[in-house]
Amino acid sequence: MSDPVTLIKAADLVAADPTPGMARSLAFEGEQLWAGQVVTEPGAVSGWHHHDINETSIYVVSGRMRFEFEGHDGFLDAEPGDFVRVPPHTVHRESNPTDQPSVAVLARVGGGIPTVNVEGPR
């Protein structure tokens, strides 16, 4: 028999994977899947980081998320309803250029270290 369906309430999320400027919360973690949310406060700029061998999907629920990443001059802005794909080992940082918090749902697949904080792009 397979595992039963599990409900994780918003109140049951736990703080996880700190990166300066971002508050990540873990909903659940399996052998290959990590799922949770991130809240980025107005004006915050995260530290540079990558997600090891994990491929990451980000769904913006509210606010705006700005992404900078190695190999790209400038930035990309994501707004509510947008999805962002971050490939494995991609050094990047997020910021919130608005006056309201941003909230996004995260899913990582691969089974690697969820977040690796680094000094900056190579």
Could you give the CA distance from residue 1 to residue 21 in angstroms, rounded to a whole number?
42
In a domain, 52, yes or no: yes
- pLDDT of the chain along its 122 residues, tens only? 788 999 999 999 999 988 777 899 999 999 999 999 999 999 999 999 999 999 999 999 999 999 999 888 999 999 999 999 999 999 999 999 999 999 999 999 999 999 999 998 87
In a domain, 86, yes or no: yes
In a domain, 89, yes or no: yes
In a domain, 12, yes or no: no
Note down the domain range covering 110.
38-117
The dihedrals phi and psi of 12, each to the nearest 5 degrees, come to: -95, 0
In a domain, 72, yes or no: yes
Residue type, 12: D
What is the widest separation between alpha-carbon atoms in the chain? Answer: 50
Please state the domain count of the chain: 1
| Strand spans (E) along the chain | 14-19, 22-29, 33-40, 49-50, 55-62, 65-69, 76-78, 83-86, 92-95, 102-109, 116-117
In a domain, 108, yes or no: yes
Whichever domain contains 65, its CATH number is 2.60.120.10
